Amino acid sequence: MTYQEKYQAWLDYADLPDYLRQDLVSMDEKTKEDAFYTNLEFGTAGMRGYIGAGTNRINIYVVRQATEGLAKLVASKGEEAKKRGVAIAYDSRHFSPEFAFESAQVLAAHGIQSYVFESLRPTPELSFAVRHYNAIAGIMVTASHNPKEFNGYKVYGEDGGQMPPADANALTDYIRAIDNPFAIELADLEEAKASGIIKVLGEETDIQYLEELKDLSINSDLIKEFGADMKIVYTPLHGTGEMLTRRALAQAGFNSVQIVESQATADPDFSTVSSPNPESQAAFALAEELGREVGADVLLATDPDADRVGVEVRQADGSYWNLSGNQIGAIIAKYILEAHKQAGTLPANAALCKSIVSTELVTKIAESYGATMFNVLTGFKFIAEKIQEFEDTNNYTYMFGFEESFGYLIKPFVRDKDAIQAVLLVAEIAAYYRSRGLTLADGIDEIFKEYGYFAEKTISVTLSGKDGAEQIKAIMAKFRDNAPEQFNGTDIALFEDFALQTATDKDGNVTSLTTPPSDVLKYALADDSWFAVRPSGTEPKIKFYIATVGETLAKAEEKIANIEKEINDFVN
């Protein structure tokens, strides 16, 4: 069908809700094409899109279709899988509760048990719930850190990690085979609740998750002595972090936590920020204001579904330093390994995991403690797979996993990024440096002096719609086939094409990569700098990752600026 025919089919559907019909009627031709030229696709972390009418938008019909596909996948695994059921949680966005409970109604129509939280809950608690209730799968309704116009739908496997490629591909096939999303059957919500096939979860699950957090601290004496009165500012940015993070900090013994109360209320419009993204310093404006008022040592912010955390630390002049995702990863890794070494609890087979586009600084840190670093594709499900592999084989002991995009996991009772765990550990790390008469900013400086001045930058370019998708493909093809031999006057020493699973050195020798296929290109330069290019799996973006090492941070950042300019010149 053409996009015009799809549009007309939606417009002709008699039972379409008024708000969606009004959306259709208000569309100009370009918007119609973007809303209907394709179906919203599953990527590295499910699907994400603008809220509204259309097959390329997120709405009740697209959610029903995705859940119908999941129901067929679960049913294909047998009656026991249907009884184990699906855990479902949702964040503070527009239509999140509706999408969550409609998903449960679709599952109930197939005789599949579901466990749905009574109100908004963070992504890590959904991952925990999948494992805690022995569910066969999970659904998280969220658009993570995207602006208010977005929502999304992430699917989890039975290990509590985002659904791995084999099942995700099967799910995609089931979804694509559904011709008419308007014909999908829903069970009656109240009848399904009464029968128990939809079970509503609440405080009992929160308590179990918080209980697991009690083992997170490596040195609780530090918190008692130096953390109890340490001033910390926390903001949930109008999202789900408010549900558990405040309680988790108090439970751990951090008694001087100040909350940005104006951002503690769930708000689908995220009215105090332009975007609820803790990667951005702009999202910290109110936290910085409160931090200066109370003299806070560290500021912490979680995104709407509380799987990512941003950190700012006070510097000697009183200003706040907005740490990069890689810097946060480095300081967490360093503390975990050092604290366990001091306590005599660092295992000989210690292992860390990171994505292929995250800093090599953490690899250096790991190696200095005799730990092994595993590099995986972007998508936290690949870290979850490694954790499961370690548990199955007992070859390695998992210590820490992270992605440069502000996602961290310390304790694997969760199998996705967990900002609540990260908030607790960063607070403990601040107490550790305070015990030495230092700040977190001093801690970053110590790491740089010991391991080298590493700098990184991620550039996201949004290219929306059909034209944007074609532009992204063209950029990837240009890099793949015609990339220059030098950047910043430095030879490309190794070119890795993760789609073709090949690594080609400067002499033309080709070896095979061991990761699964993925549309990522990575160029290692002769001076230990590197950059990578990949389309986003869940957003209409192409991302460029640049990493350098220099004699000083300023020199490393100068290299980044040069490489960024040359990439921009090459693309344009």
Q: What is the DSSP string of 98-162?
A: HHHHHHHHHHHHTT--EEEESS---HHHHHHHHHHTT-SEEEEE--TT--TTEEEEEEE-TTSSB
Is residue 9 within a helix (H) or strand (E), and if so which, with residue range? helix 3-12
* Residue in 96, 127, 144, 529 annotated catalytic: 144
Catalytic status, residue 460: no
Output the six-digit token pair for 447.
């790491």
Structure token digits, residue 474: 């063209």
Q: Contacts from 36-40 at CB under 8 Å and sequence distance 24+?
A: 36/3, 36/4, 36/6, 36/7, 36/10, 37/3, 37/465, 37/466, 38/466, 38/469, 39/175, 39/176
**What order of strands is seen across the sheet that includes strand 407-409?**
372-376, 350-355, 397-403, 407-409
Q: Which residues are CB-neighbours of 479 under 8 A, at least 6 positions away? A: 521, 533, 570
CA distance 384 to 226: 33
Q: Residue 354 corresponds to which tokens in the numbers above?
A: 């990171």
Q: What is the DSSP letter of 512?
A: E
Rg (CA), the chain: 24
Rounded CA separation 491/487 (Å):
7
Residues 30 and 23 sit within 8 Å (Cβ to Cβ): no
- How far is 351 from 387, CA to CA, in rounded Å? 9
Point out the residues that are catalytic. 144
